[in-house]
Structure formats: structure tokens, C-alpha cells
Amino acid sequence: MADVFNWQLGRKMRYRFPEAHPEWQFAAVFNINRCIACQTCSMACKSTWTFSEGQEYMWWNNVETKPYGGYPHQWDVHLLQMLEQVNPGGQTWDAANKDAKTAPYGTYQGMTIFEAAAKQNAGQEALGYLPKDEDWTAPNLYEDTARNGTGDLRRPKPVSLPEHETWFFYLQRICNHCTYPACLAACPRNAIYKRHEDGIVLIDQSRCRGYRKCAEECPYKKPMFRTTTRVSEKCIACYPRIEGADPLSDGVPMETRCMSACVGKIRLQGLARLNSDGTWAEDRSNPLYFLVHVERVALPLYPQFGTGPNVYYIPPRWVPRPYLRQMFGPGVDDAIARYELPSRELTAVLQLFRATRTVIFRYEIQEGPKVRDVTVGGKTWSLYNDTVVGFDKRGREAVRITVMEPFYERPSDRYINSV
Amino acid sequence: MKRLGLTRGRRAALPLGLLVAAVLLAVAGVNPVRSQNPLLVAPAASGKVSTTNLYSSVWDQAPSVDVTLSMQNVTNPMGGGEVATVRARALHDGKRLYILLEWGDSTRDLTLGLTQYGDAAAVEFPRTPGKTVPSFCMGDVAPDRGVNIWQWRAVWQEDIATKQASASIQALHPDMQVDLYPFRNDPVYMTARDVNNLVSIPARTTPIDNLVANQFGTLTDAPQQDVHGLGEWRDGRWRVLLYRDMTQPAGMPSLSPGTTTNVALAVWDGARGNRDGMKSVSSFLDLQIAARTAGGGGLHWGAGQTLALLIGMFGAATVGLFVLIYAVVRPPER
Ligand code: SF4
Ligand code: SF4
Ligand code: SF4
């Protein structure tokens, strides 16, 4: 048992292994505000990795409808409730106790799943539960099966919950390739490892003996047991693409299947360089560093679990704040404020989402003319048509895009039939 | 106050005394550590040991030991303890060692579903028998202090019985919707099978995995899968036979008639969620591979032998004790 530093919580916490951080960390930003739940990402993953027997229920990428949906059903509220039972009323933050590098969201005063497991002393490394078979039915519950309650597994209960009348949003989920993976800590056979080169967390398919402790203790429920091979599998972060080994990648890191397929252009994925204490090394022109550490518009999902998840979310603007604070921590209000009235630089960087499938390691902004001033909430906000240029790992230009969509007006007298 | 301590003379005499006592005890065939353990004797079987009939009368020759099991509470994941005892018997035929385990289990758990686990049982031996007694908790880190584990799994037994090795989710939940399975027979998409994971092999020939470990978290397939056996569930009891050739390649524990080693036992009840460390487990027993007598009838241990051994032990212990007393109470030289 070791004491490790978790910057997302602004403090040290207990973990099975001492700190040993990778050189680079796989990370992504998902802009919840833009997702249309088309599930193209889910299909991109499934049609690449999980279409075989024994993987039927596996959606390494899933998009669920909050607040009532979840895959597996109620994965998050179930665990939140367990945490609450171990440490009643204790899951609070000291949001004032902040530091830009080591405690950007404040200091978490509650218990992580690792600490709760130690308190509970029930033989687990991380507090967790194994979902039931029926929890894996209906991947987008309350979106794809909004009503009906026959007790039939395909139309699962509970069905008496209210429909989404006032607000809802889509939550896109993949494995978080956590800094302190609970799956890895849970594995009694040490079959799970985190790669030094990119922080990707993998289950060694030759070592796993199918104990399902990872499936039980991963808070995000991303390792899944495969009945045909009798071992567990999980999202592999499309590692051949991250390695630049995919034939299409031109030898440089390329975004994963679920990222590059995203129709709503909500996703941007890359690699963050780490310091030896697991904090992100200063990398001002890396778009992920800018979004997570400079603008802080993107926040980790349930940071209080303590695993240090590496997918960061731009929270949905319209959702009640207490709900969002529980889900993304106390950074929510600032993040939404910065997203609603984005800085000139943020406006440009947001254009990089899905502009290329090549991983962008550095961006540059070339200033363009002011387009217009608008008044938002009594404040004046100026829009500029800047150009943002993204560069690949070797420093080659990978993409160039302007804030304003290029606009051409066809002369109406020449194309009468509109063709 | 007088400082407690030994003078140089006594310091020299103490190890000598211990050594003499130890040598004499060893000559007398008594191992003071092992004498604490329950003893499982594997007599030499007269007649063939059936590998198909677990209820054969050949097992009447083997004395049975009811071994107490307890919950594994040394390392995470902790659990088990639901199976209180396992009955163990052992036999050998000069070539192979046979172990027969029996325990009560009201459910026969043969399926690996998402939340279903199978029943299982295992026996564990030191990898260097007679030389070291490693921790019964998966052995120790030192290379010669590892353990060899034979694990029988009910699911593997069922694979062999049904000649198939997989249950798709659709087979477990026939109502679920599946359009098609592309590349159905392409091994690339059965990853664990493609990298020869022992738990994923489709055509199983033995229900028993041969494994090695050097401490928790290190369990690994042994290079050779040469442990065989059979498990049968009857009237709320499992009876499981595990057997292997006693002569083993370097690095694996070789046994022979007349030697003693250790064996620890473990049982998993799938219905209770038992898997991995969540098991009912014993500590090490002594396992004596009895010498084969001329008539091939097994070990004969009579009153004469017992008396001779007792006299030998008593004599040796007395000599050792005298040397010890001399070392401790002799007046210090000034
Ligand atoms: S492809 Fe993009 S927009 Fe569509 S569901 Fe996935 S994340 Fe949302
Ligand atoms: S999300 Fe779960 S499976 Fe993925 S690294 Fe974190 S703990 Fe492991
Ligand atoms: S990163 Fe790759 S493996 Fe992981 S969910 Fe996305 S497509 Fe699937």
C-alpha cells in the first residue's frame, strides 16, 4: 500500500502501488454540449473490436442518457450510494484550497473508492460491485427504451422513473485510462498494466484468468468479462493508432476509432506529457493542456472516485449545477462560465475538434479580423475569424481551419435549377 | 542489575548444542516443524488406480484426512471460508501420485456467465520438495521457494463433457438480439485464445491447470500441462481426482516413494462468488509418499517400528538437551 499524489483531488491518497507515471498520457476532451447521441462512436468501436461471440454486450464506447440512463444501468449512482454508505455525508470538497498545478479544483475531503475499501475492510482494493447480467441490457436506457415495463429483460425495470421533461444530456464514455486504475489495483493476478509510453491501460489477454475483479472494482465499469474466452476485455484505446502503427497513420499518433468517427465533432484526443508526480508538464500549445489546465473548461468524470480519469468533459450548460458538481467536481461553475463566453483563443482551439484524425501535439493561432460584437448576458463578446493550425508529432502541419466556416454565395442568375 | 547475556564460552556452546540436538533429531527422522502439520500418507496402491471410476475400492487402501479449511484473509481479494472441510486421500503406483478430494457442495456450478463462477479445487506443493517449505500463500519470491498448483475447474470438466468450450452471451440469454457474427472462425477475434491463454483453449484434454507461483499475484501457467483427473458431483458432494507422474522435469517437484513433501488444499464454491483468492483454504499438510514394500502392498508400520522410533527420539533429545543445559547454566569463565 502506498501514498500517491492525485492532482485532481489536490491531495495524496492511498493506492495499492507506489507512483510510477508514464512519459505520455492518453487523454481526451469530450464536449458534452455538442453530442447528438448518434452512436456513431459506439458503432465505430464495436465494428472494430467487439463484434464477436462473447462480446455481444460489450460497448467499450457507450453514450448514455443522463440523468436516468447508464450502461451498465445505474453504474454511477450505485457506486455513489456505496461511497455514501461507507462515509455518510463526507464526500465534500474544500474548493477554496486550490493551486493551479496541484489542486486546480480544490481539495477533496471525502473518501476515494480506495480509501472507502480500506475502511470497509471487505477484501477489496477499491470499493465496487459487479453489475448483474440484466444491468447490461439496453445500452441507452431511457433513450432507446423510454417507457414500458413488462419485466422483460429487453425492457428493463425500473420504469416508473419520470421521463426527461426538463433537462437531460448525453454522456459519452470510454475507459478513462486512469492515472491510478482501480482495475489494475483490483487484479489479483497482476494481469493489468499501464503502458509507460502512453499510459494506456490494458488487460494482458495471456495472463487474465477471468476473476472479474477488474469488472467489480473499476468505478466506470469498463472491463467486461467475455464468456467465450473466459477472460476480461476492455477498451484498448485503439493503441495501434496511438502508436502510429496503423497503415493510415503515416507513422504518427492518430486518434482512436471512436474519436475520429464522431459526427457531432465533440471529441478531441491526444497525448499529454507528464511530470514525475503525475501532473501535466507545462505544454502551453498542446490543445489538451490548454483546455484542461489553462482554460479549465474540461473536467474529469467523478474525480472523487480517485482513479484520476483521463477523459475530460466540457459540462453541459443547461444542467442543474448540483448534479454537475457531483459528477465533475467543484470546477463546474468556472468551466461553464469560460465555455459560455469563450476567450478568443478558446474559440479558435474549439475548432480543432474533429478537424483531423492526426493527433495534434501543438497548435498555433494566426489572428484574423473581428467578425462582430455580440452582447451575451449584458457583456460584450467579440468574435474573430482567427485561423488555428495543428501540428503532428513530427511538427508537420496536420490541419488548418478558420473560426468562421468559409462561405460562398452562388450567383442566383446562373444556377436557376439550383444544381 | 546483572546484564543478561552469554559469555564467549557459552556463546560457542549454544549453537553447538542446538546443532547436536538438530542432527540427532534429524537422524531419528523427526522434523520439529513438520510434526505440527496433519499427515496425509499416500500408500503404494495394490492394484490399478482407476482414472475413470472415482468410487473404486482401490481408495479403501488410502487413509483419509479431513482437512479444516478457512477463509483466505491474507491478501485481497479476501473471501471464501464457506466450505469448512475437505476430505483428502492419496495413493501412488510408483509412477504417478493420485490425490482424491471430496467436499460437500449443494450446487453444481459449471457455467461462466457474467456473474456466474464455477466450482473448483486445487492442491499446492512446494516446488523443491524436501528442501524448502515456502509460504502456503502462493509461495515465496526466492526461485527455489515457489509452489506448484494443480487446479481442477468444474467448468473445464464440463467443456470436456460437452466437447465445447464457450457460451456466447446469446447462448446465456437466448432472447437477446444478434444480427450476425462476422469472421466467426478467425482466431484474431478470439484474442485470449489466439495468444494461447490456458483458460481460453477450446479443445481441452484435461480439466486441471498446472500452475506455478512465487508469491501472490505471480500465478502463471507451468510450461507443461501434464496434470490429469476427473471431477464428479453426486448427491451434494464433489469428488475430484488429480494425478500426475511423480518424475518431473527440472524446476517442477519430483517425488518418489519414501519421500515426504507438503500439500495444501483449496476449494472454491462458484455459487458463493468464489474465485481466485476468495476460497476456502488449508495450510500445508505433510504428504508422505510411502515406500513400496517388496510385495508391493504399501507401507507397513508396526508397533516395533514405533517403539524403536520413540526410543531413538528420546535418546537423541536427551543428548541435545544436556548439551543445551551445559551451554546455558555453566558458570561464566572470568
Ligand atoms: S459520435 Fe459523437 S455526437 Fe455521435 S454519439 Fe458519439 S460522441 Fe455523440
Ligand atoms: S476506467 Fe476502469 S478500466 Fe479504465 S483504466 Fe480506469 S479503472 Fe481501469
Ligand atoms: S478508444 Fe478505441 S477501443 Fe476504446 S472505446 Fe474508443 S474505439 Fe473503442
ipTM: 0.85
The pLDDT of residue B190 is 93
Q: What is the rounded distance in angstroms from the CA atom of residue B326 to the CA atom of residue B7?
A: 13
Q: How far is B324 from chain A (nearest CA, A)?
A: 43
Percent with pLDDT over 70 in chain A: 93
Instruction: Classify each residue of A59-91 as buried b or exposed e, where b means 16 or more C-beta atoms within 10 Å of its C-beta.
Output: bbbbbbbbbbbbbbbbbbebbbebbeebbeeeb
User: For each of chain B's 334 residues, which pLDDT tens digit applies?
Assistant: 333 333 344 444 444 444 444 444 433 333 333 447 899 999 999 999 999 999 999 999 999 999 999 999 888 899 999 999 999 999 999 999 999 999 999 999 998 889 999 999 999 999 988 777 888 888 888 888 999 999 999 999 999 998 887 778 888 888 888 888 999 878 889 999 999 999 998 889 999 999 999 989 899 999 999 999 999 999 999 999 999 999 999 889 999 999 999 999 999 999 999 998 899 999 999 999 999 753 444 344 444 445 555 555 666 666 666 555 555 555 444 4
Q: Which of B77, B115, B189 sits opposite A188 (nearest CB)?
A: B77
Cis peptide before A247 (omega within 30 of 0): no
Cis peptide before A315 (omega within 30 of 0): no
pLDDT in tens, A56-98: 999 999 999 999 899 999 999 999 999 999 999 999 999 999 9
The CA–CA distances, whole Å, from A305 to A1, A176, A214 equal 17, 12, 15
The pLDDT of residue A142 is 74
CB A175 within 8 A of CB A110: no
Provide, as residue numbers in chain B, all residues whose Cβ is less than 8 Å from the Cβ of A189: 217, 219, 276
Query: 0.95 exceeded by the pTM?
Result: no
Window from A47-61, A163-177, A241-255, B84-98 with minimum mean pLDDT: A163-177
Q: For the residues A125-143, what does the mean pLDDT come to? A: 91
Within 6 A (CB) of ligand 1 lie A 35-41, 63, 172, 261-264, 266
Highest mean pLDDT among A117-121, A159-163, B112-116, B303-307: A117-121
Torsion of CA B153, B155, B160, B162, to 10 degrees: 160
Pocket flag, ligand 2, residue A236 (CB < 6 Å): no
Report phi then psi at A85, rounded to 5: -70, -35
Q: How far is B189 from chain A (nearest CA, A)?
A: 7
Q: Which of A51, A57, A229, A231 to mutate to test the interface with B (most CBs of B within 10 A)?
A: A229
Q: For the residues A285-313, what does the mean pLDDT come to? A: 98
Computed on alpha carbons and rounded to an integer, the radius of gyration of chain B in Å comes to 25
The pLDDT of residue B32 is 38
Find, among B277, B237, B36, B241, the residue nearest to B123 by Cα: B241
CATH of segment(s) A2-344: 3.30.70.20
Q: How many CB atoms lie within 10 A of CB A323?
A: 16
Contact B275 A205 (CB under 8 A): no
Q: What is the rounded distance in angstroms from the CA atom of residue B283 to the CA atom of residue B86?
A: 12
Judged by a CB distance cut-off of 8 A, whether residue B308 touches chain A is no
Read off the DSSP letter of residue B50.
Answer: P
Residue found by looking up cell 480544490 in the block: A106
What is the SS3 assignment for chain A?
Answer: CEEEEECCCCEEEEECCCCCCCCEEEEEEEEHHHCCCCCHHHHHHHHHHCCCCCCCCCCCCEEEEECCCCCCCCHHHHHHHHHHHHCCCCCCEECCCCECCCECCCEECCCCHHHHHHHHCCCCCCCCCCCCHHHHCCCCECCCECCCCCCCCCCCCCCCCCCCCCCCEEEEECCCCCCCCHHHHHCCCCCEEECCCCCCEEECCCCCCCCCHHHHHCCCCCCEEECCCCEEECCCCCHHHHCCCCHHHCCCCECCHHHHCCCCCCEEEEEEEECCCCCECCCCCCHHHHHHHHCCCCEECCHHHCCCCCEEEECCCCCCHHHHHHHHCCCHHHHHHHHHCCCHHHHHHHHHCCCCCECCCEEEEECCCEEEEEEECCEEEEEECCEEEEECCCCCEEEEEECCCCCCCCCCCCCCCCC
Contact A209 B277 (CB under 8 A): no
Window from A9-18, A211-220, A392-401, B306-315 with minimum mean pLDDT: B306-315
Read off the DSSP letter of residue B187.
Answer: G
Q: Which of B189, B190, B277 sits opposite A188 (nearest CB)?
A: B277
Window from A120-129, A209-218, B158-167 with minimum mean pLDDT: B158-167
At residue A407 the predicted structure's pLDDT band, cuts being 50, 70 and 90, is: confident
Q: What is the rounded distance in angstroms from the CA atom of residue A178 to the CA atom of residue A63?
A: 19
C-alpha cell at A34: 455538442
The pLDDT of residue A163 is 55
Interface of A with B in 318-347 (CB under 8 A): none
The pLDDT of residue A415 is 66
C-alpha cell at A76: 454511477
Find, among B332, B322, B329, B227, the residue nearest to B21 by Cα: B322
Q: How far is B238 from chain A (nearest CA, A)?
A: 22
Provide, as residue numbers in chain B, all residues whose Cβ is less than 8 Å from the Cβ of A124: 76-77
pLDDT in tens, B130-187: 777 888 888 888 888 999 999 999 999 999 998 887 778 888 888 888 888 999 878 8
* Start-to-end CA span in chain A (Å): 69
The average confidence (pLDDT) of chain A is: 93
Read off the DSSP letter of residue B205.
Answer: S
Contact B276 A189 (CB under 8 A): yes
Percent with pLDDT over 90 in chain A: 86
CB A23 within 8 A of CB A47: no
Contact A229 B112 (CB under 8 A): no
Contact A188 B193 (CB under 8 A): no
Q: For the residues A27-49, what does the mean pLDDT come to? A: 97
> In chain A, what are the domain boundaries?
2-344
